[in-house]
Amino acid sequence: MRFAALFLALLAAAGDPGERVVHVVARRFTYSPEVIELQLGVPVIIELTSADRDHGFSVPDLGIRIDVEPGKTARVRVVPEKVGTFDFHCDVFCGSGHEEMAGRIMVSAPVASGGNSGH
Amino acid sequence: MGSRTRREFLQIAGVGGVVFASGLLEACSRLGGRPDPRPGMADDFYFVQLSDTHWGYKGPANPEATVELPRAVELVNALPQVPDFVVFTGDLTHTTDDDQERRRRMGQVREHLARLRVPTLRLMAGEHDASLDRGAAFQEFFGPLRYSFDHKGVHFVVLDNVSDPKGILGDAQIDWLSRDLKPRPKDAPIVVFTHRPLFDLKPDWDWTTADGTRAIDVLHAWRHVTVFYGHIHQEHHHQTDHIAHHAARSLMFPLPAPGSQPNRAPLPWDPAHPGKGLGLRDVDTDPRQPAYELREIPLARES
């Protein structure tokens, strides 16, 4: 796993029941949502389903890839360990428009709480 | 006829607008002088690589989509010497969900290619041809998805990394590759044709083969291996250790250089230079060195 140091990704991991779940629907030739916003160090479960046919969910820079098949729910648990933008795409050829089926994961630093910016 | 002589002949014959590139082995032979011909090897020859016609494409990236394939056929037929064969490294057709339309497009491509005045045509699939039906229509029209053949001392291997929609070679094919190469001497010249790059050129644009490194690991044991591929719609040259990988231009629309723009959308059509960025390639092959001299032939024309 090339970027294990950046992300901890556990396929089909149950995780903590209180963890945030992001639902992503794949259909030709889009993901909904196309942008997944995460916070540094905060675990999240990404749940993927397909609305039509076989797709893939590949984030090469994070070493994540998973099949997204109709009638099944694919899950990947991620713990962002680096701020940045990471592109994902469908890597299971799904027809004319397959090349445009992509999105991005954006990882931001946590917002400081209890600040006194009013001064 | 030696390769250099043939190149000179082509220049004298007035084949304009050509760009010469050389493979690593050719470069080495220039630096160190050409070694003595290897005994038992045949004389040199050349072949032509066509790629990514995407016949049936309709879109702004090429408003003259029916022009390029016939023009490429004309250019090949006009070459001053007949190539020993033409290889087409995939995506002969643009994909469609309609099985009948897919077959209609393949039939039209076959008709155009039948006009090539060359002794042999070697065809292989791209994901647009084969991924939606796992190569069923392609095999009906053009034959097997993977095969090997020998020509004048060079062993050619055609690999299929597209009929599985995940863009992989698969265990069975990698085993087949190992068995196919096993009887070959380790210094035998090996040329691999494939559609997708076997190495990780740009994985986030799907410009890779998920298990391609396994094939490269197999090939690595042979000292003279060169890979020609398509898929990325541009000339590109890369080395994985001693193995050279050469991508060819498309015959439909050019794609951006890896990472040069946010996504892999086709480069815009240039009405002042129709066909800009498109082209074909001939490959002068000297199996005695072995050495490969690449000549890029553009399709661009003035409007």
pLDDT at A111: 73
Question: Is A81 in the B-facing interface, judged by CB distances under 8 Å?
Answer: no
pLDDT at B163: 98
Give the Cα separation of B87 and B303 in Å (integer): 29
The DSSP string of B62-129 is: -TTTTTHHHHHHHHHHTSSS--SEEEEES--B---S-HHHHHHHHHHHHHHHTT---S-EEEE--HHH
Query: Across-strand partners of B190?
Result: B155, B225
pLDDT at B7: 54
Asked whether the beta carbons of residue B264 and residue A99 sit closer than 8 angstroms, the reply is yes
3-state SS, residue B193: strand
Question: Is A16 in the B-facing interface, judged by CB distances under 8 Å?
Answer: no
Question: Is A61 in the B-facing interface, judged by CB distances under 8 Å?
Answer: yes
Q: What are phi and psi of A45, to 5 degrees?
A: -105, 120
- Say how many residues make up chain B: 303
Q: Taking CA atoms, what residue in A is nearest to B166?
A: A92
Question: Is residue B247 predicted with pLDDT exceeding 80?
Answer: yes
Asked whether the beta carbons of residue A96 and residue B94 sit closer than 8 angstroms, the reply is yes
- Contacting B residues, span 18-77, partner chain A, CB-CB under 8 Å: none
The interface pTM score, or ipTM, of the predicted complex is 0.85
Give the Cα separation of A89 and A97 in Å (integer): 12
Query: Across-strand partners of B202?
Result: B207
**Averaged pLDDT for residues B107-128:** 98
Give the Cα separation of B49 and B282 in Å (integer): 6
**Averaged pLDDT for residues B166-178:** 98
Which residues of A are less than 8 Å from B98 in CB distance? none
CATH superfamily of A7-108: Cupredoxins -  blue copper proteins (2.60.40.420)
Interface test with B, best of A34, A99, A105, A106 (most B CBs within 10 A): A99
Asked whether the beta carbons of residue B127 and residue A93 sit closer than 8 angstroms, the reply is yes
pLDDT at B301: 78
Question: Is B206 in the A-facing interface, judged by CB distances under 8 Å?
Answer: yes
The DSSP string of A72-86 is: --EEEEEEE-S-EEE
Domain spans of chain B, in order of start: 3-12+42-259+274-298
Task: Give the DSSP H or E segment for B138.
Answer: helix B136-142
By the 8 A CB rule, do B226 and B258 touch?
no
Question: Is A92 in the B-facing interface, judged by CB distances under 8 Å?
Answer: yes
Q: Are strands B243-247 and B224-229 parallel, antiparallel or unpaired?
A: parallel
Question: Is A89 in the B-facing interface, judged by CB distances under 8 Å?
Answer: yes
B209-219 residue pLDDT tens:
999 999 999 99
Determine the residue type at A18: G
Interface test with A, best of B98, B199, B204 (most A CBs within 10 A): B204
3-state SS, residue A15: coil
Token digits of residue A62? 């994070």
Of B96, B128, B167, the CB nearest to A91: B167
Which residues of A are less than 8 Å from B204 in CB distance? 58-61, 87-89
Give the Cα separation of A22 and A37 in Å (integer): 9
Q: Are strands A102-108 and A35-39 parallel, antiparallel or unpaired?
A: parallel
By the 8 A CB rule, do B212 and B260 touch?
no
Asked whether the beta carbons of residue A95 and residue B97 sit closer than 8 angstroms, the reply is yes
A7-38 residue pLDDT tens:
444 444 456 678 999 999 999 999 999 999 99
A57-100 residue pLDDT tens:
999 999 999 999 999 999 999 999 999 999 999 999 999 999 99
Asked whether the beta carbons of residue A56 and residue B166 sit closer than 8 angstroms, the reply is yes
- Say how many residues make up chain A: 119
What's the CATH code, domain B3-12+42-259+274-298?
3.60.21.10
Question: Is A40 in the B-facing interface, judged by CB distances under 8 Å?
Answer: no
Question: Is A91 in the B-facing interface, judged by CB distances under 8 Å?
Answer: yes
- Contacting B residues, span 133-192, partner chain A, CB-CB under 8 Å: 162, 165-167
User: Of the segments A12-16, B155-159, B299-303, which one has the largest average pLDDT value?
Assistant: B155-159
Band the pLDDT of A114: cuts 50, 70, 90: low
Interacting residues of B250 by C-beta distance below 8 A, sequence separation 6+: B51, B52, B53, B54, B91, B230, B233, B234, B277, B278
pLDDT at B303: 65
Band the pLDDT of B300: cuts 50, 70, 90: confident
B255-297 residue pLDDT tens:
999 999 988 999 999 999 999 999 999 999 999 888 899 999 9
Question: Is B203 in the A-facing interface, judged by CB distances under 8 Å?
Answer: yes
Domain spans of chain A, in order of start: 7-108
Determine the residue type at B14: G
Question: Is B94 in the A-facing interface, judged by CB distances under 8 Å?
Answer: yes
Burial of A40 (0-12, 13-18, 19+ CB in 10 A): middle
By the 8 A CB rule, do B155 and B185 touch?
no
Q: What is the mean pLDDT of chain B?
A: 89
